[in-house]
A and B are shown apart, each in its own frame.
Chain A
């Protein structure tokens, strides 16, 4: 069987399985809470592994490999900090509180939580618009990444790769909602893990082991082996912070904490997410090892695809291709459901005050998922910028808007609605202006964005009247222990 036929067969089976999950989960939808949160009945394994799948997109695998190729072993630190801050600490610090607060407030989305927690419709609408707008940009970057993977590994035209993967995701998300997203994410995390482990083992065997790879890299340039090496501390720290601390403000990941069956399940989830998240080291490791095996590549983005062709059999590379596609699809699907919730639940229903029955709300959520997916797909056919540029742009904008309001929302009783609104507006504006100026001093817009956002939240909250005790009691659950028991 030719390599293309093997790739086609593995991918065909894989895509059929995803469509099957979409059809099965679509039969269980009764309410908008089912569509957006899976009825808050999702178990810890599915929640945690779908978190990992949504976190690490195909952009991280291909882009992380490119970073490893370019800067060497020091990039392993990005993966390590991803695990510590983006997985372990996110679950420990945010998970339990977000689960409790959102259950008490009866909210299903990140804008919903912010709006109810701070008693502000403006905060809800503003965050919904920012999330919907910039997640479409993120969607485009994911689709673009997948299009390139199909192009390089299967020889398919870019547009066919984009249409094939985009159409399949839009189909199963609009059918099955959140349950389809988490179950496909759970399944995709295993495929992604298998693909990455397979390639890492094959690459290390080809080079003669990790010690041998290190020695080869050190002989070429000692800066490829030591930390921070040729990357430098500024680049290493700022990039690690964006892709690790930034996820604390990303709705497609935070929503996993809302939907887990109970607070107790978070304990298992934290361990599973940390172990699963350890996969984050592999793209950087594989990228660095590929530098020892195929030095002199002009485009570092090709490091992983070229290595795949070199060290894996057609069946092995088909599994790796499925893993990369899985990583992209699971992230895209998570983003799609969040965008749909922001538009229908937060903007139309709560923002504009349009009443809807549960069935009507599900129907509109499906239509919006479909439309947002199609818009992203059309833009991705003629994308405006590089994948990593689009990704960093959208992450910076959303994290600069949401990160501190979410953290203060679950930890501070003193943060005020004016402080939160000023923080969101100031953080977003600073990040966009900084990026628009071409990221002066080599610092990405994310860091000044969250810096200004924090200062405004603290400053404005201190000079405005504290929130009412009613609002605080409602969020912290002093109204009665029964409320807490009911939700746990």
Chain B
């Protein structure tokens, strides 16, 4: 059993969703920085 008495597989699926949100936020921040520095797209 993983955290919160959930099986590791179920817990990991929640982690994938949290990771996706983090990835989208990181991409949004990094691509804004690239644009403000005039990097080619």
Chain A residues in contact with chain B, CB under 8 A? Answer: 73-74, 76-77, 79-81, 83-84, 87-88, 91-92, 96, 100, 210-211, 214-215, 225-229, 263-264, 267-268, 270-271, 273-275, 277-278, 281
Contacts and interface: CB of A to CB of B under 8 A. Distances in A.
B7 A225 contact: yes
Contacts of B9: 73-74, 77, 226-229
B13 A271 contact: no
A270 B7 CA distance: 30
A80 B5 contact: no
Contacts of A273: 24
Contacts of A227: 7, 9-10, 12-13
Contact of B7 (A73, A100, A263, A268): A73
B6 interface: yes
Contact of A278 (B10, B21, B27): B21
Interface of B: 4-7, 9-10, 12-14, 16-17, 19-21, 23-25, 27-28, 31-32, 35, 41
Contact of A267 (B16, B20, B28): B28
A214 B28 CA distance: 36
Nearest to B10: A73
B21 A76 contact: no
A210 B4 contact: yes
B5, B17, B31, B32 — most chain A CB neighbours (10 Å): B17
B6 A79 contact: no
B24 A211 contact: no
Contacts of A77: 9, 13, 16
Contacts of A226: 7, 9
B1 to A, nearest CB: 9
Contacts of B16: 77, 80-81, 83-84
Given A92-B27, A226-B7, A264-B35, A84 B13 contact: no
A88 B24 contact: yes
8 contacts: A92-B23, A210-B4, A215-B5, A226-B9, A267-B28, A267-B32, A274-B20, A281-B13
B31 to A, nearest CB: 6
B24 A79 contact: no
